[in-house]
């Protein structure tokens, strides 16, 4: 049973470019969560999605960041016009509908030059 998958594992962007991070949840999991871990800081919640619905986006920056979890395909975290401060590890987690134990993917390390 494959775990949570994220790609790419490493992403380098120049300031002003767009970053797209993908997450495929574990089989049987329909809830997806995105977290960000800045260097030397803790994990911070960004957004909670179910298929075709954003349930809680209270941790998302108001501008440049968006997330979706379409009916088909992976969840996408999109960062427009990246800035150096966006450099971080972005983790996706998933859980089944009946439980709130969250299992994390390997993460995407974003570096903004």
Partner 1 sequence: QKEVEQNSGPLSVPEGAIASLNCTYSDRGSQSFFWYRQYSGKSPELIMSIYSNGDKEDGRFTAQLNKASQYVSLLIRDSQPSDSATYLCAVNAGGTSYGKLTFGQGTILTVHP
Which residues are at the interface with partner 1 (CB under 8 A)?
31, 33, 35, 41-45, 48, 55-56, 58-59, 91, 100-107
Judge whether 9 and 76 are in contact, CB under 8 Å. Answer: no
Q: By C-beta, is 15 or 27 nearer to partner 1? A: 27
Measured from the Cβ of residue 25, the count of other Cβ atoms closer than 10 Å reads: 26
Neighbours of 3 (CB within 10 A): 14
Q: Smallest distance, Å, CB 103 to partner 1?
A: 6
Residue 72 or 101 with smaller CB distance to partner 1? 101
Pick the closer one to partner 1 by CB: 3 or 66: 3
């Amino acid at each position: 049973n494959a775990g949570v998958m994220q790609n790419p594992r490493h992403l380098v962007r120049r300031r002003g470019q767009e970053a797209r991070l993908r997450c495929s949840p574990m089989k049987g999991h329909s809830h997806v969560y995105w977290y960000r871990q800045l260097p030397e800081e803790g994990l911070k919640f960004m957004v909670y999605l179910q298929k075709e619905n954003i349930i809680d986006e209270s941790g998302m920056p108001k501008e440049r960041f968006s997330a979706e979890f379409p009916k088909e395909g992976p969840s996408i975290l999109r960062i427009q016009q990246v800035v150096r401060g966006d450099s971080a590890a972005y983790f996706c987690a998933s859980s089944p509908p009946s439980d709130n134990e969250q299992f994390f993917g390997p993460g995407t390390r974003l570096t903004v030059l």
